[in-house]
Protein backbone atom coordinates (compact mmCIF):
# COMPACT_ATOMS: atom_id res chain seq x y z
CA UNK A 1 0.00 0.00 0.00
CA UNK A 2 1.31 3.42 -0.97
CA UNK A 3 1.00 6.52 1.13
CA UNK A 4 0.23 9.92 -0.32
CA UNK A 5 1.85 13.25 0.48
CA UNK A 6 -0.29 15.58 -1.59
CA UNK A 7 -4.03 15.60 -2.12
CA UNK A 8 -6.07 17.97 -4.21
CA UNK A 9 -9.82 18.47 -4.20
CA UNK A 10 -11.65 20.05 -7.13
CA UNK A 11 -14.71 21.90 -5.77
CA UNK A 12 -14.60 24.07 -2.64
CA UNK A 13 -18.28 23.76 -1.73
CA UNK A 14 -20.34 22.30 1.12
CA UNK A 15 -18.61 18.94 0.73
CA UNK A 16 -15.14 19.81 -0.58
CA UNK A 17 -14.49 22.54 2.02
CA UNK A 18 -15.36 20.71 5.27
CA UNK A 19 -14.14 17.28 4.09
CA UNK A 20 -10.71 18.54 3.13
CA UNK A 21 -10.46 20.69 6.26
CA UNK A 22 -11.01 17.58 8.38
CA UNK A 23 -8.53 15.49 6.36
CA UNK A 24 -5.96 18.30 6.77
CA UNK A 25 -6.60 18.45 10.52
CA UNK A 26 -6.33 14.70 11.05
CA UNK A 27 -3.43 14.14 8.63
CA UNK A 28 -0.96 16.97 9.32
CA UNK A 29 1.65 15.33 7.10
CA UNK A 30 -0.50 15.46 4.00
CA UNK A 31 -0.65 18.69 2.03
CA UNK A 32 -4.24 19.32 0.99
CA UNK A 33 -5.12 21.86 -1.71
CA UNK A 34 -8.75 22.71 -2.44
CA UNK A 35 -9.33 24.36 -5.81
CA UNK A 36 -12.34 25.97 -7.44
CA UNK A 37 -13.07 28.03 -10.53
CA UNK A 38 -15.17 30.38 -8.42
CA UNK A 39 -12.71 33.11 -7.42
CA UNK A 40 -15.12 34.67 -4.90
CA UNK A 41 -15.54 31.38 -3.06
CA UNK A 42 -11.78 30.84 -2.86
CA UNK A 43 -11.26 34.43 -1.64
CA UNK A 44 -13.84 33.83 1.10
CA UNK A 45 -12.08 30.62 2.18
CA UNK A 46 -8.80 32.58 2.33
CA UNK A 47 -10.19 35.70 4.03
CA UNK A 48 -8.93 36.76 7.47
CA UNK A 49 -12.47 37.07 8.80
CA UNK A 50 -13.36 33.49 9.72
CA UNK A 51 -16.96 34.54 10.40
CA UNK A 52 -17.38 35.08 6.69
CA UNK A 53 -16.38 31.69 5.31
CA UNK A 54 -18.52 30.78 2.29
CA UNK A 55 -20.36 28.16 4.27
CA UNK A 56 -21.48 28.09 7.86
CA UNK A 57 -20.92 24.86 9.82
CA UNK A 58 -20.50 24.61 13.58
CA UNK A 59 -16.83 23.88 14.45
CA UNK A 60 -15.53 24.58 10.96
CA UNK A 61 -13.90 27.94 11.51
CA UNK A 62 -11.79 26.54 14.35
CA UNK A 63 -10.45 23.81 12.05
CA UNK A 64 -9.77 26.33 9.29
CA UNK A 65 -7.90 28.51 11.80
CA UNK A 66 -5.74 25.53 12.79
CA UNK A 67 -4.98 24.13 9.34
CA UNK A 68 -5.13 26.93 6.80
CA UNK A 69 -1.69 27.76 5.40
CA UNK A 70 -0.25 24.91 7.52
CA UNK A 71 -1.24 21.98 5.32
CA UNK A 72 -4.57 23.22 3.92
CA UNK A 73 -4.60 25.61 0.98
CA UNK A 74 -7.37 27.15 -1.12
CA UNK A 75 -6.59 28.24 -4.66
CA UNK A 76 -7.98 28.84 -8.13
CA UNK A 77 -4.89 27.35 -9.76
CA UNK A 78 -6.60 24.10 -10.68
CA UNK A 79 -3.93 22.83 -13.09
CA UNK A 80 -1.07 23.25 -10.65
CA UNK A 81 -2.96 21.45 -7.90
CA UNK A 82 -3.78 18.54 -10.25
CA UNK A 83 -0.19 18.31 -11.40
CA UNK A 84 1.23 18.20 -7.87
CA UNK A 85 -1.28 15.80 -6.27
CA UNK A 86 -1.04 12.03 -6.10
CA UNK A 87 -4.71 11.75 -5.20
CA UNK A 88 -7.44 14.00 -6.67
CA UNK A 89 -10.92 14.24 -5.21
CA UNK A 90 -13.68 15.46 -7.50
CA UNK A 91 -16.26 17.25 -5.38
CA UNK A 92 -18.07 19.45 -7.86
CA UNK A 93 -21.82 19.95 -8.04
CA UNK A 94 -24.02 17.41 -9.85
CA UNK A 95 -27.42 19.15 -9.96
CA UNK A 96 -30.55 17.79 -11.60
CA UNK A 97 -30.47 18.42 -15.35
CA UNK A 98 -32.52 21.39 -16.49
CA UNK A 99 -32.29 20.63 -20.22
CA UNK A 100 -32.20 17.83 -22.79
CA UNK A 101 -32.48 14.11 -22.17
CA UNK A 102 -33.36 13.29 -18.60
CA UNK A 103 -34.36 16.94 -17.89
CA UNK A 104 -35.82 17.24 -14.38
CA UNK A 105 -34.50 13.85 -13.24
CA UNK A 106 -31.02 12.81 -14.37
CA UNK A 107 -27.92 14.33 -12.78
CA UNK A 108 -26.07 16.90 -14.84
CA UNK A 109 -22.56 15.52 -15.23
CA UNK A 110 -21.07 18.35 -17.27
CA UNK A 111 -18.93 19.63 -14.37
CA UNK A 112 -17.66 16.12 -13.67
CA UNK A 113 -16.73 15.61 -17.29
CA UNK A 114 -14.93 18.96 -17.41
CA UNK A 115 -12.88 17.91 -14.38
CA UNK A 116 -12.01 14.56 -15.97
CA UNK A 117 -10.90 16.26 -19.18
CA UNK A 118 -8.83 18.76 -17.24
CA UNK A 119 -7.12 16.01 -15.24
CA UNK A 120 -6.43 14.09 -18.45
CA UNK A 121 -4.89 17.17 -20.02
CA UNK A 122 -2.71 18.20 -17.10
CA UNK A 123 -1.59 14.98 -15.39
CA UNK A 124 2.00 13.94 -16.06
CA UNK A 125 2.27 11.30 -13.33
CA UNK A 126 0.00 8.44 -12.14
CA UNK A 127 -3.03 9.58 -10.13
CA UNK A 128 -5.75 8.14 -7.98
CA UNK A 129 -8.97 9.96 -8.91
CA UNK A 130 -11.67 9.84 -6.24
CA UNK A 131 -15.35 10.50 -7.00
CA UNK A 132 -16.54 12.41 -3.95
CA UNK A 133 -19.54 13.93 -5.71
CA UNK A 134 -22.73 11.87 -5.71
CA UNK A 135 -22.92 10.21 -9.11
CA UNK A 136 -25.16 7.86 -11.05
CA UNK A 137 -24.10 4.24 -11.18
CA UNK A 138 -21.37 3.53 -13.75
CA UNK A 139 -20.06 7.12 -13.90
CA UNK A 140 -16.61 5.89 -12.91
CA UNK A 141 -16.57 3.96 -16.16
CA UNK A 142 -17.16 7.17 -18.14
CA UNK A 143 -14.49 9.04 -16.18
CA UNK A 144 -12.02 6.21 -16.76
CA UNK A 145 -12.75 6.20 -20.46
CA UNK A 146 -12.12 9.96 -20.75
CA UNK A 147 -8.92 9.72 -18.73
CA UNK A 148 -7.53 6.72 -20.59
CA UNK A 149 -8.37 7.97 -24.06
CA UNK A 150 -7.33 11.57 -23.80
CA UNK A 151 -4.60 11.38 -21.17
CA UNK A 152 -0.84 11.53 -21.51
CA UNK A 153 -0.37 7.79 -21.07
CA UNK A 154 -0.25 7.95 -17.27
CA UNK A 155 -2.10 5.41 -15.09
CA UNK A 156 -5.38 6.46 -13.48
CA UNK A 157 -7.13 4.49 -10.81
CA UNK A 158 -10.75 5.60 -10.21
CA UNK A 159 -12.35 5.21 -6.79
CA UNK A 160 -15.86 5.98 -5.62
CA UNK A 161 -15.91 7.53 -2.15
CA UNK A 162 -19.34 9.10 -1.62
CA UNK A 163 -19.80 11.53 1.23
CA UNK A 164 -22.43 10.95 3.92
CA UNK A 165 -22.07 14.15 5.96
CA UNK A 166 -25.23 16.08 6.74
CA UNK A 167 -25.12 19.87 6.72
CA UNK A 168 -25.22 21.54 10.11
CA UNK A 169 -23.34 18.59 11.62
CA UNK A 170 -20.70 18.17 8.89
CA UNK A 171 -17.66 18.43 11.17
CA UNK A 172 -19.07 16.01 13.71
CA UNK A 173 -20.14 13.60 10.95
CA UNK A 174 -16.70 13.67 9.35
CA UNK A 175 -14.79 13.22 12.61
CA UNK A 176 -16.96 10.34 13.80
CA UNK A 177 -18.33 8.89 10.56
CA UNK A 178 -20.59 5.83 10.91
CA UNK A 179 -18.74 4.45 7.91
CA UNK A 180 -16.60 5.47 4.98
CA UNK A 181 -17.34 3.75 1.70
CA UNK A 182 -14.60 3.12 -0.83
CA UNK A 183 -15.42 1.46 -4.13
CA UNK A 184 -12.72 0.47 -6.58
CA UNK A 185 -11.77 -2.00 -9.25
CA UNK A 186 -11.12 -5.54 -8.14
CA UNK A 187 -7.63 -5.64 -9.65
CA UNK A 188 -4.24 -5.45 -7.89
CA UNK A 189 -3.87 -1.74 -8.75
CA UNK A 190 -7.53 -1.10 -7.80
CA UNK A 191 -6.95 -2.80 -4.44
CA UNK A 192 -3.79 -0.78 -3.84
CA UNK A 193 -5.67 2.46 -4.53
CA UNK A 194 -8.51 1.46 -2.17
CA UNK A 195 -5.93 0.69 0.52
CA UNK A 196 -4.23 4.05 0.03
CA UNK A 197 -7.50 5.93 0.49
CA UNK A 198 -8.40 3.72 3.48
CA UNK A 199 -5.03 4.66 4.99
CA UNK A 200 -6.00 8.36 4.79
CA UNK A 201 -9.24 7.78 6.74
CA UNK A 202 -7.61 5.39 9.20
CA UNK A 203 -5.64 8.35 10.56
CA UNK A 204 -8.71 8.94 12.71
CA UNK A 205 -11.36 6.28 12.06
CA UNK A 206 -11.26 2.64 13.20
CA UNK A 207 -10.40 0.23 10.38
CA UNK A 208 -13.72 -1.59 10.64
CA UNK A 209 -15.64 1.57 9.73
CA UNK A 210 -13.92 1.77 6.36
CA UNK A 211 -15.89 -0.41 3.96
CA UNK A 212 -14.47 -1.48 0.64
CA UNK A 213 -16.78 -2.53 -2.22
CA UNK A 214 -16.76 -2.61 -5.98
CA UNK A 215 -17.28 0.75 -7.71
CA UNK A 216 -20.89 0.24 -8.71
CA UNK A 217 -22.04 -0.85 -5.25
CA UNK A 218 -20.44 2.23 -3.78
CA UNK A 219 -22.05 4.61 -6.30
CA UNK A 220 -25.46 3.00 -5.89
CA UNK A 221 -25.25 2.83 -2.08
CA UNK A 222 -25.01 6.61 -1.86
CA UNK A 223 -28.24 7.12 -3.81
CA UNK A 224 -29.96 4.38 -1.83
CA UNK A 225 -28.87 5.76 1.56
CA UNK A 226 -30.40 9.15 0.74
CA UNK A 227 -33.53 7.55 -0.70
CA UNK A 228 -34.07 5.51 2.49
CA UNK A 229 -33.55 8.54 4.74
CA UNK A 230 -35.93 10.72 2.72
CA UNK A 231 -38.43 7.87 2.61
CA UNK A 232 -38.60 7.88 6.41
CA UNK A 233 -39.37 11.60 6.45
CA UNK A 234 -42.06 11.22 3.78
CA UNK A 235 -43.51 8.22 5.62
CA UNK A 236 -43.89 10.08 8.90
CA UNK A 237 -45.14 13.17 7.07
CA UNK A 238 -47.87 11.13 5.41
CA UNK A 239 -48.90 10.02 8.89
CA UNK A 240 -48.84 13.63 10.13
CA UNK A 241 -51.67 14.43 7.71
CA UNK A 242 -53.68 11.56 9.17
CA UNK A 243 -52.93 12.68 12.73
CA UNK A 244 -54.28 16.14 11.95
CA UNK A 245 -57.63 14.57 11.02
CA UNK A 246 -57.79 12.43 14.15
CA UNK A 247 -56.80 12.82 17.77
CA UNK A 248 -53.49 11.06 17.26
CA UNK A 249 -50.31 13.06 17.81
CA UNK A 250 -47.50 12.43 15.32
CA UNK A 251 -44.79 12.80 17.99
CA UNK A 252 -46.40 10.06 20.05
CA UNK A 253 -46.67 7.84 16.99
CA UNK A 254 -42.99 8.46 16.10
CA UNK A 255 -41.94 7.64 19.62
CA UNK A 256 -44.08 4.53 19.78
CA UNK A 257 -42.79 3.08 16.52
CA UNK A 258 -39.21 4.28 17.08
CA UNK A 259 -38.93 2.16 20.22
CA UNK A 260 -39.05 -0.91 17.98
CA UNK A 261 -35.36 -1.58 17.48
CA UNK A 262 -36.06 -2.83 13.97
CA UNK A 263 -37.47 0.59 13.05
CA UNK A 264 -35.20 2.81 15.18
CA UNK A 265 -35.95 6.28 16.47
CA UNK A 266 -33.92 8.53 14.17
CA UNK A 267 -35.24 10.50 11.21
CA UNK A 268 -38.85 10.27 12.29
CA UNK A 269 -39.48 13.96 12.93
CA UNK A 270 -42.48 15.16 11.03
CA UNK A 271 -41.85 18.52 9.36
CA UNK A 272 -43.01 20.96 6.72
CA UNK A 273 -40.99 18.81 4.29
CA UNK A 274 -37.42 17.82 3.66
CA UNK A 275 -35.14 20.15 1.73
CA UNK A 276 -31.45 20.32 0.94
CA UNK A 277 -29.45 19.81 -2.18
CA UNK A 278 -29.32 16.02 -1.91
CA UNK A 279 -32.54 14.15 -1.12
CA UNK A 280 -34.69 15.26 -4.03
CA UNK A 281 -31.84 15.29 -6.53
CA UNK A 282 -30.61 11.83 -5.60
CA UNK A 283 -34.06 10.24 -5.59
CA UNK A 284 -34.87 11.77 -8.98
CA UNK A 285 -31.62 10.31 -10.21
CA UNK A 286 -32.53 6.89 -8.81
CA UNK A 287 -35.93 7.16 -10.48
CA UNK A 288 -34.27 8.05 -13.78
CA UNK A 289 -31.83 5.15 -13.56
CA UNK A 290 -34.62 2.68 -12.73
CA UNK A 291 -36.71 3.96 -15.66
CA UNK A 292 -33.77 3.73 -18.02
CA UNK A 293 -33.59 0.01 -17.23
CA UNK A 294 -37.36 -0.33 -17.82
CA UNK A 295 -38.03 -0.81 -14.09
CA UNK A 296 -41.11 1.40 -14.00
CA UNK A 297 -42.56 -0.02 -10.76
CA UNK A 298 -39.25 0.64 -8.99
CA UNK A 299 -39.17 4.18 -10.38
CA UNK A 300 -42.79 4.89 -9.34
CA UNK A 301 -42.17 3.54 -5.85
CA UNK A 302 -39.32 5.98 -5.16
CA UNK A 303 -40.95 8.91 -6.95
CA UNK A 304 -43.76 8.73 -4.43
CA UNK A 305 -41.31 9.91 -1.73
CA UNK A 306 -40.98 13.21 -3.59
CA UNK A 307 -44.68 13.48 -4.39
CA UNK A 308 -45.42 13.12 -0.67
CA UNK A 309 -42.85 15.80 0.17
CA UNK A 310 -44.36 18.26 -2.31
CA UNK A 311 -47.78 17.51 -0.85
CA UNK A 312 -46.52 18.27 2.66
CA UNK A 313 -45.12 21.69 1.72
CA UNK A 314 -48.31 22.58 -0.16
CA UNK A 315 -50.50 21.28 2.65
CA UNK A 316 -48.69 23.49 5.16
CA UNK A 317 -49.12 26.63 3.04
CA UNK A 318 -52.76 25.81 2.29
CA UNK A 319 -53.44 25.32 5.98
CA UNK A 320 -52.12 28.82 6.69
CA UNK A 321 -54.39 30.26 4.01
CA UNK A 322 -57.53 28.38 5.08
CA UNK A 323 -56.92 29.14 8.78
CA UNK A 324 -56.55 32.86 8.02
CA UNK A 325 -60.16 32.83 6.80
CA UNK A 326 -59.27 31.74 3.26
CA UNK A 327 -57.58 34.97 2.34
CA UNK A 328 -54.07 36.17 2.98
CA UNK A 329 -54.06 38.94 0.42
CA UNK A 330 -52.47 42.01 2.02
CA UNK A 331 -51.95 40.12 5.29
CA UNK A 332 -48.55 40.18 6.87
CA UNK A 333 -47.07 36.76 7.51
CA UNK A 334 -43.69 36.36 9.20
CA UNK A 335 -41.54 33.41 8.19
CA UNK A 336 -39.07 32.30 10.85
CA UNK A 337 -36.24 30.49 9.08
CA UNK A 338 -35.29 30.13 5.43
CA UNK A 339 -32.44 27.57 5.58
CA UNK A 340 -33.45 23.97 4.83
CA UNK A 341 -32.47 22.94 8.37
CA UNK A 342 -30.82 24.57 11.37
CA UNK A 343 -27.10 25.33 11.66
CA UNK A 344 -26.51 25.87 7.97
CA UNK A 345 -26.76 28.85 5.62
CA UNK A 346 -27.69 26.51 2.77
CA UNK A 347 -31.15 27.09 1.32
CA UNK A 348 -31.14 24.71 -1.64
CA UNK A 349 -34.61 23.11 -2.01
CA UNK A 350 -35.64 24.54 1.36
CA UNK A 351 -39.34 24.05 2.13
CA UNK A 352 -39.45 27.77 3.00
CA UNK A 353 -38.99 28.72 -0.65
CA UNK A 354 -42.08 26.77 -1.72
CA UNK A 355 -44.22 27.87 1.22
CA UNK A 356 -43.31 31.50 0.51
CA UNK A 357 -44.04 31.07 -3.18
CA UNK A 358 -47.52 29.69 -2.52
CA UNK A 359 -48.29 32.51 -0.08
CA UNK A 360 -47.01 35.12 -2.55
CA UNK A 361 -49.33 33.65 -5.19
CA UNK A 362 -52.13 34.65 -2.82
CA UNK A 363 -50.66 38.16 -2.52
CA UNK A 364 -49.59 37.80 1.10
CA UNK A 365 -47.01 40.24 2.47
CA UNK A 366 -44.10 38.24 3.76
CA UNK A 367 -41.39 39.17 6.24
CA UNK A 368 -38.51 36.72 6.54
CA UNK A 369 -36.09 36.35 9.41
CA UNK A 370 -33.26 33.80 9.31
CA UNK A 371 -30.14 34.08 11.49
CA UNK A 372 -27.69 32.93 8.78
CA UNK A 373 -29.24 33.43 5.36
CA UNK A 374 -28.54 36.62 3.45
CA UNK A 375 -31.20 38.74 1.73
CA UNK A 376 -29.70 38.21 -1.75
CA UNK A 377 -29.95 34.44 -1.38
CA UNK A 378 -33.62 34.65 -0.43
CA UNK A 379 -34.51 36.76 -3.47
CA UNK A 380 -32.39 34.55 -5.75
CA UNK A 381 -34.18 31.44 -4.46
CA UNK A 382 -37.56 32.96 -5.26
CA UNK A 383 -36.55 34.46 -8.61
CA UNK A 384 -35.22 31.04 -9.65
CA UNK A 385 -38.75 29.61 -9.45
CA UNK A 386 -39.78 32.10 -12.11
CA UNK A 387 -43.31 32.34 -10.70
CA UNK A 388 -43.59 36.12 -11.06
CA UNK A 389 -41.70 39.27 -11.92
CA UNK A 390 -38.63 39.60 -9.63
CA UNK A 391 -39.83 43.13 -8.79
CA UNK A 392 -43.01 41.63 -7.42
CA UNK A 393 -40.99 39.31 -5.15
CA UNK A 394 -39.18 42.35 -3.74
CA UNK A 395 -42.40 44.32 -3.33
CA UNK A 396 -44.23 41.58 -1.46
CA UNK A 397 -41.38 40.00 0.51
CA UNK A 398 -39.03 41.79 2.90
CA UNK A 399 -36.09 40.43 4.85
CA UNK A 400 -35.29 41.66 8.36
CA UNK A 401 -32.50 41.02 10.88
CA UNK A 402 -34.66 40.84 13.96
CA UNK A 403 -37.45 38.35 14.75
CA UNK A 404 -39.31 41.03 16.76
CA UNK A 405 -39.39 43.33 13.77
CA UNK A 406 -40.80 40.48 11.67
CA UNK A 407 -43.58 39.90 14.19
CA UNK A 408 -44.61 43.54 14.35
CA UNK A 409 -48.25 43.82 13.17
CA UNK A 410 -48.13 40.33 11.67
CA UNK A 411 -51.27 38.21 11.41
CA UNK A 412 -49.30 35.00 11.60
CA UNK A 413 -45.85 33.51 12.11
CA UNK A 414 -44.78 30.30 10.37
CA UNK A 415 -41.76 28.43 11.69
CA UNK A 416 -39.95 26.87 8.77
CA UNK A 417 -36.48 26.10 10.17
CA UNK A 418 -35.82 24.61 13.60
CA UNK A 419 -33.18 27.17 14.70
CA UNK A 420 -32.62 26.79 18.45
CA UNK A 421 -33.03 30.53 19.01
CA UNK A 422 -36.72 30.30 18.04
CA UNK A 423 -37.39 28.18 21.13
CA UNK A 424 -36.07 30.82 23.50
CA UNK A 425 -37.58 33.94 21.93
CA UNK A 426 -39.70 36.12 24.19
CA UNK A 427 -43.00 34.75 22.87
CA UNK A 428 -44.99 36.92 25.31
CA UNK A 429 -43.48 40.00 23.74
CA UNK A 430 -44.00 38.63 20.24
CA UNK A 431 -47.67 38.09 21.05
CA UNK A 432 -48.02 41.70 22.17
CA UNK A 433 -46.52 42.92 18.85
CA UNK A 434 -48.89 40.93 16.64
CA UNK A 435 -52.39 41.63 15.37
CA UNK A 436 -55.09 39.58 17.09
CA UNK A 437 -55.99 36.80 16.76
CA UNK A 438 -52.30 35.96 16.56
CA UNK A 439 -51.56 32.72 14.70
CA UNK A 440 -48.42 30.59 14.92
CA UNK A 441 -47.88 27.68 12.51
CA UNK A 442 -45.09 25.46 13.77
CA UNK A 443 -43.80 23.48 10.80
CA UNK A 444 -40.93 22.08 12.86
CA UNK A 445 -42.66 21.09 16.07
CA UNK A 446 -40.22 23.06 18.25
CA UNK A 447 -42.64 25.03 20.43
CA UNK A 448 -44.64 23.80 23.42
CA UNK A 449 -48.37 23.77 22.91
CA UNK A 450 -49.21 24.53 26.53
CA UNK A 451 -47.03 27.63 26.63
CA UNK A 452 -48.32 28.95 23.30
CA UNK A 453 -51.97 28.34 24.27
CA UNK A 454 -51.42 30.03 27.63
CA UNK A 455 -49.98 33.17 26.00
CA UNK A 456 -53.06 33.36 23.78
CA UNK A 457 -51.77 32.30 20.37
CA UNK A 458 -53.92 30.35 17.95
CA UNK A 459 -51.38 27.59 17.70
CA UNK A 460 -51.08 25.02 14.91
CA UNK A 461 -48.40 22.34 15.05
CA UNK A 462 -47.80 19.99 12.16
CA UNK A 463 -49.10 16.49 12.90
CA UNK A 464 -51.63 17.49 15.59
CA UNK A 465 -55.31 18.17 15.28
P1 LIG B 1 -21.41 23.05 -4.11
O2 LIG B 1 -22.20 23.62 -5.23
O3 LIG B 1 -21.48 23.65 -2.76
O4 LIG B 1 -19.85 23.04 -4.53
C5 LIG B 1 -19.37 22.61 -5.76
C6 LIG B 1 -18.21 23.52 -6.19
O7 LIG B 1 -17.59 22.97 -7.35
C8 LIG B 1 -18.63 24.95 -6.54
O9 LIG B 1 -17.93 25.86 -5.72
C10 LIG B 1 -18.21 25.09 -8.03
O11 LIG B 1 -17.72 26.38 -8.35
C12 LIG B 1 -17.10 24.05 -8.14
N13 LIG B 1 -16.85 23.62 -9.52
C14 LIG B 1 -17.75 23.22 -10.45
N15 LIG B 1 -17.10 22.85 -11.58
C16 LIG B 1 -15.78 23.02 -11.36
C17 LIG B 1 -14.61 22.79 -12.14
N18 LIG B 1 -14.69 22.31 -13.39
N19 LIG B 1 -13.40 23.07 -11.59
C20 LIG B 1 -13.32 23.54 -10.33
N21 LIG B 1 -14.39 23.77 -9.53
C22 LIG B 1 -15.60 23.51 -10.04
O23 LIG B 1 -21.80 21.51 -4.06
P24 LIG B 1 -21.75 20.53 -2.78
O25 LIG B 1 -22.96 20.72 -1.94
O26 LIG B 1 -20.39 20.61 -2.15
O27 LIG B 1 -21.92 19.12 -3.49
C28 LIG B 1 -20.86 18.53 -4.23
C29 LIG B 1 -21.22 17.08 -4.50
O30 LIG B 1 -21.30 16.36 -3.26
C31 LIG B 1 -22.57 16.85 -5.20
O32 LIG B 1 -22.44 15.77 -6.08
C33 LIG B 1 -23.49 16.48 -4.06
O34 LIG B 1 -24.54 15.67 -4.48
C35 LIG B 1 -22.57 15.71 -3.14
N36 LIG B 1 -22.96 15.71 -1.71
C37 LIG B 1 -23.38 16.86 -1.11
C38 LIG B 1 -23.70 16.86 0.24
C39 LIG B 1 -24.17 18.11 0.93
O40 LIG B 1 -24.57 18.00 2.07
N41 LIG B 1 -24.15 19.27 0.31
C42 LIG B 1 -23.55 15.69 0.99
C43 LIG B 1 -23.10 14.55 0.35
C44 LIG B 1 -22.80 14.57 -1.00
C1 LIG C 1 -28.53 14.38 3.76
C2 LIG C 1 -28.06 13.05 4.37
O3 LIG C 1 -28.49 12.97 5.73
C4 LIG C 1 -26.54 12.95 4.31
O5 LIG C 1 -26.12 11.67 4.77
C6 LIG C 1 -26.10 13.14 2.87
O7 LIG C 1 -24.70 13.09 2.78
C8 LIG C 1 -26.62 14.45 2.31
O9 LIG C 1 -28.05 14.51 2.44
P10 LIG C 1 -28.63 16.90 4.59
O11 LIG C 1 -29.56 17.07 3.45
O12 LIG C 1 -27.48 17.83 4.71
O13 LIG C 1 -28.02 15.42 4.57
O14 LIG C 1 -29.46 16.99 5.97
P15 LIG C 1 -30.46 15.99 6.72
O16 LIG C 1 -30.16 16.08 8.15
O17 LIG C 1 -30.44 14.64 6.13
O18 LIG C 1 -31.87 16.68 6.49
C19 LIG C 1 -32.49 16.72 5.21
C20 LIG C 1 -33.86 17.33 5.33
O21 LIG C 1 -34.76 16.43 5.98
C22 LIG C 1 -33.90 18.63 6.13
O23 LIG C 1 -34.76 19.55 5.52
C24 LIG C 1 -34.46 18.18 7.47
O25 LIG C 1 -35.10 19.21 8.15
C26 LIG C 1 -35.42 17.10 7.04
N27 LIG C 1 -35.71 16.12 8.11
C28 LIG C 1 -34.73 15.32 8.59
C29 LIG C 1 -37.00 16.02 8.59
O30 LIG C 1 -37.90 16.74 8.16
N31 LIG C 1 -37.26 15.09 9.58
C32 LIG C 1 -36.31 14.26 10.08
O33 LIG C 1 -36.62 13.45 10.95
C34 LIG C 1 -34.99 14.40 9.58
For residue 276, the CA-to-ligand 2 centroid distance in Å is 7
Residue to probe by mutation, ligand 2, list 278, 348, 442, most atoms within 8 Å of CB = 278
For the chain, the residue count is 465
Q: What is the pLDDT of residues 163-208, one digit of tens each?
A: 999 999 999 999 999 999 999 999 999 999 999 999 999 999 999 9
* CA nearest neighbour of 393 among 424, 366, 373: 366
Q: Are 122 and 147 in contact (CB under 8 A)?
A: no
Helix, coil or strand: residue 96: strand
- Give me the DSSP letters along 117-167: HHHHHH--S-EEEEE-S---TTHHHHHHHHHHHHS-S--EEEEE------T
Chain-centre distance of CA 223, in angstroms? 14
Backbone angles phi, psi at 78, to 5 degrees: -65, -45
pLDDT for 230 equals 98
Give every CB contact of residue 249 below 8 A, 6+ residues apart in sequence: 243, 463, 464
Going by their DSSP bridges, the two strands 156-160 and 127-131 should be labelled as parallel
Q: In Å, how far are 154, 393, 405 from 399, measured between CA atoms? A: 53, 11, 10
Backbone angles phi, psi at 89, to 5 degrees: -90, 135
pLDDT for 134 equals 94
Residue 1's pLDDT band (cuts 50, 70, 90) = low
- The strand pairing partners of 8, in sequence order, are 33, 88
**225 ligand 1 Cβ < 6 A:** no
Atom of ligand 1 nearest to the CA of 346: 41
pLDDT for 441 equals 98
Q: How large a percentage of the chain has pLDDT more than 70?
A: 100
* CA nearest neighbour of 91 among 43, 160, 191, 172: 160
**164 ligand 2 Cβ < 6 A:** yes
Q: What is the pLDDT of residues 359-412, one digit of tens each?
A: 999 999 999 999 999 999 999 999 999 999 999 999 999 999 999 999 999 999
Residue to probe by mutation, ligand 2, list 166, 269, 282, most atoms within 8 Å of CB = 166
**Ligand 2: which residue has its CA nearest to atom 9?**
278
**268 ligand 2 Cβ < 6 A:** yes
- Is residue 155 scored above 80 in pLDDT? yes
Atom of ligand 2 nearest to the CA of 14: 12
Q: Are 116 and 141 in contact (CB under 8 A)?
A: no
Residue 21's pLDDT band (cuts 50, 70, 90) = very high
**92 ligand 1 Cβ < 6 A:** yes
Amino acid sequence: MNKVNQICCIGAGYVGGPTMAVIAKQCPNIKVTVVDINQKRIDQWNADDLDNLPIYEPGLKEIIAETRDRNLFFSTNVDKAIEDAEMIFISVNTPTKTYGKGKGQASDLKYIELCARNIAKVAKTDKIVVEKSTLPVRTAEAIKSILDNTGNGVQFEILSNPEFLAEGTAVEDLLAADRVLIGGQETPSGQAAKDTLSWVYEHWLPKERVLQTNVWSSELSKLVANAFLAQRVSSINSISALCEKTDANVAEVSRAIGFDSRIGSKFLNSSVGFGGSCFQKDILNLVYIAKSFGLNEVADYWEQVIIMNDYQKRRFAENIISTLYNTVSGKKIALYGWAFKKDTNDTRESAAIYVADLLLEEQAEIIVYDPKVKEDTIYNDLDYLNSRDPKENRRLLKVVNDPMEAANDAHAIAILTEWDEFKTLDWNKIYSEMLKPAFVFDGRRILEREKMDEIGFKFYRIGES
